[in-house]
């Protein structure tokens, strides 16, 4: 056999990186559907336990203390108080997009809305750590156009 015949055919595996966009939707359930529908009307709804009176800022069907089903909806805020915060300065992957969070830095805080017994984490439009204090009052700033998701809240801003 000639030298030429001994040559094996080579296959090359080409690896490229790129982006694929696969839009999808999912059902968030009865409670979160009602919760996010409230956002379209700039209403932040919580749910109250009929047994112990605890008001949850993010709705859930069953009270974590009493284990009873809850169905008493209450409107919360639009103001609240900061319970904790952090100014994020190091990049990490956004689970919603798979990309590095930009731009840095940004501030997130646990905000207990008036009328609620629990807090939600969301953006605050202040980067100066010396100006952000636990106990400061904030209010919701809504997007001009709301679609019924968590991004309908643009951020919280200080009111005191
Ligand atoms: Zn309860």
For the stretch 30-80, pLDDT in tens is: 999 999 999 999 999 999 999 999 999 999 999 999 999 999 999 999 999
Q: How far is the CA of 137 from the centre of ligand 1 (A)?
A: 27
Q: At a CB cut-off of 8 Å and minimum separation 6, what does 84 contact?
A: 109, 110, 119, 134
Is residue 157 over pLDDT 70?
Answer: yes
Residue 111 lies in a domain: yes
Q: How far is the CA of 29 from the centre of ligand 1 (A)?
A: 21
Domain containing residue 47: 28-158
Q: How far is the CA of 46 from the centre of ligand 1 (A)?
A: 13
Q: How far is the CA of 71 from the centre of ligand 1 (A)?
A: 11
Residue 45 lies in a domain: yes
Q: How far is the CA of 109 from the centre of ligand 1 (A)?
A: 25
Displacement of CA 52 from its chain's centroid (Å) = 27
Residue 9 lies in a domain: no
Higher per-residue pLDDT: 25 or 136: 136
pTM flag (> 0.75):
yes
Residue 146 lies in a domain: yes
Residue 132 lies in a domain: yes
What mean pLDDT is predicted for residues 105-132?
96
- Total domains in the fold of the chain: 1
Burial class (CB in 10 A: 0-12, 13-18, 19+), 65: exposed
Residue 18 lies in a domain: no
Residue 122 lies in a domain: yes
Q: How far is the CA of 62 from the centre of ligand 1 (A)?
A: 8
b vs e for 76-103, b when ≥16 Cβ sit within 10 Å of the residue's Cβ? bbbbbbbeebebeeeeeeeeeeeeeeee
């Amino acid at each position: 056999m000639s030298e030429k015949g001994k040559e094996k055919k080579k296959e090359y595996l080409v690896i490229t990186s790129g982006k694929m966009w696969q839009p999808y939707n999912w059902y968030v359930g009865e409670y979160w559907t009602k919760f996010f529908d409230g956002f379209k009307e700039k209403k932040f709804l919580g749910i109250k336990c009929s047994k112990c009176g605890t008001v949850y800022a993010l709705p859930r069907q069953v009270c974590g203390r009493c284990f009873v089903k809850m169905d008493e909806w209450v409107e919360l805020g639009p103001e609240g108080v900061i319970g904790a915060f952090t100014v994020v300065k190091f990049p990490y992957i956004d689970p919603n997009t798979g990309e590095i969070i930009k731009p840095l830095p940004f501030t997130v805080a646990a905000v207990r809305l008036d009328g609620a017994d629990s807090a939600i984490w969301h953006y605050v439009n202040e980067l100066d750590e010396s100006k952000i204090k636990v106990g400061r009052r904030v209010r919701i700033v809504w997007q001009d156009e709301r679609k019924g998701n968590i991004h309908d809240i643009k951020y919280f801003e200080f009111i005191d």
